Structure 1
């Protein structure tokens, strides 16, 4: 949340930008690297060279880590990203004279002795190779990063790789530059871009990871600031550069894109399943000034019959003004006289309360002197708190890398949770203004900048594990690092402009971040920045939001972000979108479970469906929501038609009309004002449920189960995951039920089955199914439910068969249709 006037202040920051000049000696240094010796022992391969040492070790048969330790430096084993312990993977090392082959059953490294080079394969398929490997480079003295003591361009460590001419590249965190990011050079420095539109090269959440259409990822395991160059010079080179620290990277491979993200999130950690209310609708704006205003808003959602699960308080909860109060982090009792009563009243309505916090404490805050006395602030070189001018006041920054700062901030969050607050909103956590001169408990500002949000999310997650171990935290933050998903971060894409350009950048950002493990990346629905009232844009953004991970309208208050304060026609469209979001809760919550178990993103790019299709490799205008929905957001004002590409892997059915579209085709479809184009895969099961006002009242005791029949879909599958929506690690503790759906079509017989798996601590409850089988052209000859003839309905015009499975607690159910 950057305010307009801050943009002017940021221009002079000593941040690293994009120019680079290679040191003249760099090429010569790498050309002179020679192989000296090899030792394979203790689960790793040690290679000695003329200028240092390489350590190569497997984490699994799909993950290999390489570290270069230059002569004169020691080995730094610390990683902020990796949590997977190296497995006891059988790896063989063979010296074949001119080369050494170090191989697992899947991934392998070949070390060529002269000229020295390391290349990687997976199951015999070439992946990537170092080009010149480790080298030293320098930033441009005029525009690049500088040594703050000497004013000279900094020397950077770099690792260089060779690319194939035709491979597409993804990664580097949150950016909006086109789905295939090859040809760009990215700054690895988390930085807000206030009011960005269709493009943004640098945003709040960067990650040092490159992913390739050849089905591998290169993760550079070092959080210090630097650059990631995706072949910007068009010479088939990928280069990672850093100001210092370990020279470690992991090569992650897989047979499919799903394998690659699954292996990467095994390496860096899986996302916990959020509380179920996080899948509902949020009331949010900048911001609610008073308790009365917040109460009125929650009440209005109920009056307008629009579902609601949370209300989010911006910074007015602790201060009457934007400036001068940041860091108070206590209720302003003048405007919020009874916060605990308000929160309790909201909870009675099934609405949770989330409050904002920032890592800055201004010197006019009621807590400033406390912060100074308790030594919780980042310091200058003199060891004293470093304070500086900021849009919100003259400020210090909480040092969350030290125990005093962490403990102080967690005590505040703990107190808020005891008041009933259910969610932490951490804003400005890049941090937004972070002087290079600042020192933290574990390093300089530029050394720890990119993991500030990572450590902040960790602080909250570990605090909950310690003090509220049975609860799932809700952690809304816009800055993080590789692996932050394991702490439960719900990231959003920053202060996007309220414009069509702002909407156009959002699918790419969310899809890319899901590929990189951050499965809940989402946008401020409707756009945040600038007082633009465009009802068509608002409706289209919310219709897209139904099929993004978190449904959360948010904006500056001049134009309301809440649908209850829009005109009647716009409110009606918003209500329809929100109610569809709630109807899809069984499907959407199951996507959260799949993300938790397998690392699969909720939003999936077309390249997941057709990895070898160049068109799919660069597409973000159409994407997959889970496995079975195909979604094309409407992102152009006044558009009457949209071009939709239907993947060749399946036939696809219009979610609203049932019209069938053959796969492998592109069609121009007519647009409707009340929804965006959405299609369902042939052979898919879509579980839905009755709309509720709040997820507190959600139930799977009666499921509307839609199956999309097609003659070409001889087998289909799906699932529904259910638990209490609140207990931490419910699945691991056996407090769950998992329904598996399957279909078989043979001859004239279509068989549908439901099988129930129960956790050890779960009792099976009676459940009814209202089954709808789509695309049934003729009235069936017979329908059996659980082996007995059953009554059914058939709509010839809609080509729809309907049959009910009465409620019972059987572990297996079936429908057999004779066509």
Structure 2
């Protein structure tokens, strides 16, 4: 026992009180107070819209929360994205004054706050500045009224460093990964799931804690073409020449020609701008003329379009795209324009349906004083709130994001196998016949998906199967489980038709949005509907109860949560979308517009665990928000189109989404919607369709989730091509390869849960020092070892691949060796895409299986790619239940020492029921000279018996 003197004891007691009792301090007449978590600074009253109150809260050594308000008190509203943690250890921190600055220091970072302007700077503890706000503090608050309440439109501006690259914010569809100087719309749309979190190569991340419509980067509002000086086809000022033609079987006939100073068919209400009686679906529209800017510099353009669009500037083709008419997509491009110069423009639009959309907007060059800045803007807030997250690398920063918003749940092992889906299986017989065909042909499969309309046509939201087509749904699911070893996922929308029992029950409690009902608005099927209020905790519980009573009790395995933006009525303006989200229990649609998918997923996750705590939840949702990873939710990229450019854009979308902190991303392999030429394709169209689907499938085999979905033609391997066709052979090969790689892939999932890992990895994550890797948007790392290079051009039989510097690379199929830091022309025959393995990789590969748990992981071939030290830790658990949360899992470390030429398999750590206590590993060595690849048998195999104790294997 240690006895303190009275003096020391009193001193300790006083120090303890300092931790818990705010201490009011003054510096240059700017008072601030300290409490257990940080400091609060009170600025003297100034002009309206200036910061009055600012808080720095220490979350961890590497995370500081910033709050800034123009009012005299902070908002009491609780964060929806951040979790409350009772297990969080208090970080140690100190403060001191340094002239006009207040310095807050943790073990990892230093925050400097100007007591004059409120400007913040963040640095590491070597004094290297990581991030700083604009010199004046960069904070702006514009008071306005939205939905009847006083709010602020808030802006936070930062300075960007020279060469700094930025990533994340969700899955944009514009084909880029580096967000520097880009205008990024942080708003939920079908095909654009957003997350307000970004990662920087400067060593930090930012999590923007706001739920309203937001913008990032160059956050200025997009401008209409009328901000240019416009010239018509004859070169006269005033507007572009707009030519509205009708098409017949032979030619186009001009219906009307007029001058227009804007191209804005953005939403359904904008279609009234068309000439009277003009039917877009039967015509083609061309805008011709010239643009003249009042400024010199880079102009950012965004073209949002559906149907067929070709855009030429100065006779150069800028874009040539197609998108299904009901779901427009956005193309972004930059153009250097000289002040006063004329730039010829020709925009050709074939709408492909009466409800097609076309809009072209731009941003002028950034003003000189605003260059090298970026920031966030949000429509509605009480205050500015963001988290600064320091990290040694992207994984460290993403770990900080998950510390704030919750760890990523571990999906069941079967979820990493093949999901087969289509829009849609019409009957119980179709589902069983499809799965039977997979098993008969020995095509590996784990999950069959039931998309919408399994209910009776007028019973959307009933959660009941139409018994005329599904006479025994429960029996069907049992047969899938017991006879076919296949899981069953089902689509559940937050949507309810009037007159259904579920609608009446929710409506009786006031838990439905009512505006769509008041409007008597029919959906595309022909019935009036609305969505439930997911912001109401009791409504979420009832929503789950309806799912449980009608579906989960039938042993449904997983949930497909569709239209969760929420898409109550498609292709209407943001203001109209907000108007349909009333009444909202938590507040106003303007304030909480982006957050519906988070709460909807929470209700399903918490509901399932409330009735079955032991089984893992598996959710697929079309939209996302910060924190959704804690609800076992994977996100897919929405109803994308099926063109080559759409497939290429998915690579960048998946990279960006993964860098936003949510690890389970998916896309519709094959694209959801197709051009009419593909619907019943023959001849050259069929050839192209098969090759495109094959290339998409090859890419999809190396995504976090391997999921086939789309309208028509049907996407089952045997419906794409006969078994003698190279398309069939290639898809079967990659399906089998996916299952052979499950020891590796499931370990990636386990590491994601244990260590906040990210499965689909932009090159910047592992090669941040390689500046050539920063903007690469069409290749990525799949886990630590595999470099994936999808082929996205028709008839391409090779593609350029950049091999990052820092290590050598082996051809995955042949074992051929290449030096890093170079671009190679890699072979890409019809049946293969280029895949490379990094030097130093340790890659566990299992047997071919028909489903994920068909065989125990014995034996596993351990491929060791020599030339550099390497390591890999094999993760295993019980595959389906939540016992991993209680420690029921194992880690087996593998370490390769290049100098000694040895592989050490370390002591097994942990245990779980059913684990392999004795097993065989087959060690296969790959060297730069032995050409050992997955598709050939070169290279020796050394069998090793492993009992859980450390052993060392010497390369022979």
CA distance in 1, matches of 2:519, 2:561: 21
CA distance in 2, matches of 1:765, 1:441: 53
Structure 1 residue aligned with 2:791, among 631, 634, 640? 634
Cα displacement (A) at 1:115: 4.1
TM-superposition CA deviations, 1:622-656 (whole Å, max 9, x none): 21110011111111111122111111121111110
Residue matched to 2:20:
none
Residue matched to 2:874:
720
Any gaps of 5 or more consecutive residues in structure 1? Answer: 1-33, 140-144, 194-202, 780-792
Structure 2 residue aligned with 1:472, among 616, 623, 630? 616
CA distance in 1, matches of 2:821, 2:138: 44
For residues 815 and 388 of structure 1, do their structure 2 counterparts lie closer, same or farther at Cα, with a shift above 3 Å needed? same
Structure 2 residue aligned with 1:400, among 505, 529, 534? 534
Cα displacement (A) at 1:378: 2.1
For residues 107 and 563 of structure 1, do their structure 2 counterparts lie closer, same or farther at Cα, with a shift above 3 Å needed? same
Size of the aligned set, in residue pairs, is 743
RMSD: 2.7
CA distance in 2, matches of 1:112, 1:244: 24
Residue matched to 1:39:
33
| 1:756 partnered with 2:908 | yes
Structure 2 residue aligned with 1:156, among 153, 156, 179? 153
| 1:733 partnered with 2:886 | yes
Cα displacement (A) at 1:394: 1.7
Residue matched to 1:369:
504
CA distance in 1, matches of 2:524, 2:694: 32
Cα displacement (A) at 1:371: 3.1
Residue matched to 2:132:
129
For residues 377 and 553 of structure 1, do their structure 2 counterparts lie closer, same or farther at Cα, with a shift above 3 Å needed? same
Residue matched to 1:649:
806
SS in 2 for 1:208: strand
Cα displacement (A) at 1:599: 1.7
For residues 149 and 97 of structure 1, do their structure 2 counterparts lie closer, same or farther at Cα, with a shift above 3 Å needed? closer
Structure 1 residue aligned with 2:210, among 214, 222, 229? 222
CA distance in 1, matches of 2:418, 2:488: 12
Cα displacement (A) at 1:81: 1.5
Residue matched to 1:486:
630
Q: Is the 8 A contact 2:658 2:761 kept in 1?
A: yes
Length-normalised TM-score, structure 1: 0.86
Q: Is the 8 A contact 2:594 2:625 kept in 1?
A: yes
CA distance in 1, matches of 2:741, 2:922: 15
Residue matched to 1:6:
none
Residue matched to 1:559:
713
For residues 231 and 388 of structure 1, do their structure 2 counterparts lie closer, same or farther at Cα, with a shift above 3 Å needed? closer
SS in 1 for 2:908: strand
Residue matched to 1:4:
none
Cα displacement (A) at 1:183: 2.4
Residue matched to 1:299:
436
CA distance in 2, matches of 1:101, 1:498: 54
| 1:670 partnered with 2:827 | yes
For residues 588 and 89 of structure 1, do their structure 2 counterparts lie closer, same or farther at Cα, with a shift above 3 Å needed? same
SS in 1 for 2:940: strand
SS in 1 for 2:739: helix
Q: Is the 8 A contact 2:541 2:607 kept in 1?
A: no
Structure 2 residue aligned with 1:119, among 118, 121, 127? 121
Q: Is the 8 A contact 2:190 2:623 kept in 1?
A: no
**1:441-456 matches, cutoff 5 A:** 441-456=585-600
Any gaps of 5 or more consecutive residues in structure 2? Answer: 1-27, 46-51, 221-365, 569-576, 679-685
Q: Which moved more, 1:333-342 or 1:129-138?
A: 129-138
Residue matched to 2:567:
432
SS in 1 for 2:529: strand
SS in 1 for 2:556: coil
Q: Is the 8 A contact 1:546 1:581 kept in 2?
A: yes
For residues 778 and 129 of structure 1, do their structure 2 counterparts lie closer, same or farther at Cα, with a shift above 3 Å needed? closer
For residues 340 and 727 of structure 1, do their structure 2 counterparts lie closer, same or farther at Cα, with a shift above 3 Å needed? same
Residue matched to 2:897:
744
Cα displacement (A) at 1:365: 4.1
SS in 2 for 1:552: strand
| 1:511 partnered with 2:655 | yes
Residue matched to 1:7:
none
CA distance in 2, matches of 1:391, 1:629: 44
**1:131-210 matches, cutoff 5 A:** 131=134, 132-133=136-137, 135-136=139-140, 147=146, 156-177=153-174, 178-193=176-191, 203=192, 205-210=193-198
Residue matched to 1:313:
450
| 1:547 partnered with 2:715 | no
Residue matched to 1:328:
462
CA distance in 2, matches of 1:798, 1:342: 43
Cα displacement (A) at 1:364: 5.2
SS in 1 for 2:857: coil
Residue matched to 2:922:
770
TM-superposition CA deviations, 1:449-478 (whole Å, max 9, x none): 211110111111111221110110110101
CA distance in 1, matches of 2:403, 2:146: 37
Q: Is the 8 A contact 1:58 1:87 kept in 2?
A: no
CA distance in 1, matches of 2:434, 2:912: 42
| 1:240 partnered with 2:376 | yes
CA distance in 1, matches of 2:541, 2:933: 63
Task: Say which one has the larger Rg.
Answer: 2
CA distance in 2, matches of 1:295, 1:732: 34
| 1:106 partnered with 2:108 | yes
Structure 2 residue aligned with 1:253, among 390, 400, 416? 390
SS in 1 for 2:375: strand
Cα displacement (A) at 1:45: 0.8
Structure 2 residue aligned with 1:265, among 396, 402, 405? 402
Cα displacement (A) at 1:594: 1.1
Cα displacement (A) at 1:707: 1.1
Cα displacement (A) at 1:84: 5.7
Length-normalised TM-score, structure 2: 0.74
Q: Is the 8 A contact 1:76 1:246 kept in 2?
A: no
For residues 46 and 626 of structure 1, do their structure 2 counterparts lie closer, same or farther at Cα, with a shift above 3 Å needed? same
CA distance in 2, matches of 1:305, 1:689: 17
**1:385-396 matches, cutoff 5 A:** 388-392=521-525, 393-396=527-530
Cα displacement (A) at 1:71: 2.0
CA distance in 2, matches of 1:760, 1:288: 38
Q: Which moved more, 1:540-549 or 1:365-374?
A: 365-374
Q: Is the 8 A contact 2:147 2:590 kept in 1?
A: no
Q: Is the 8 A contact 1:461 1:487 kept in 2?
A: yes
Q: Is the 8 A contact 1:350 1:695 kept in 2?
A: no
For residues 467 and 621 of structure 1, do their structure 2 counterparts lie closer, same or farther at Cα, with a shift above 3 Å needed? same
Cα displacement (A) at 1:185: 2.5
Residue matched to 1:27:
none
CA distance in 2, matches of 1:599, 1:641: 35
Cα displacement (A) at 1:87: 3.7
CA distance in 2, matches of 1:548, 1:602: 8
CA distance in 2, matches of 1:591, 1:663: 24
SS in 1 for 2:923: strand
Structure 2 residue aligned with 1:583, among 733, 736, 740? 740
Cα displacement (A) at 1:72: 4.3
Q: Is the 8 A contact 1:377 1:385 kept in 2?
A: no
CA distance in 2, matches of 1:388, 1:543: 42
For residues 50 and 379 of structure 1, do their structure 2 counterparts lie closer, same or farther at Cα, with a shift above 3 Å needed? farther
Q: Which moved more, 1:219-228 or 1:60-69?
A: 219-228
CA distance in 2, matches of 1:778, 1:301: 37
CA distance in 2, matches of 1:155, 1:268: 25
CA distance in 2, matches of 1:572, 1:770: 27
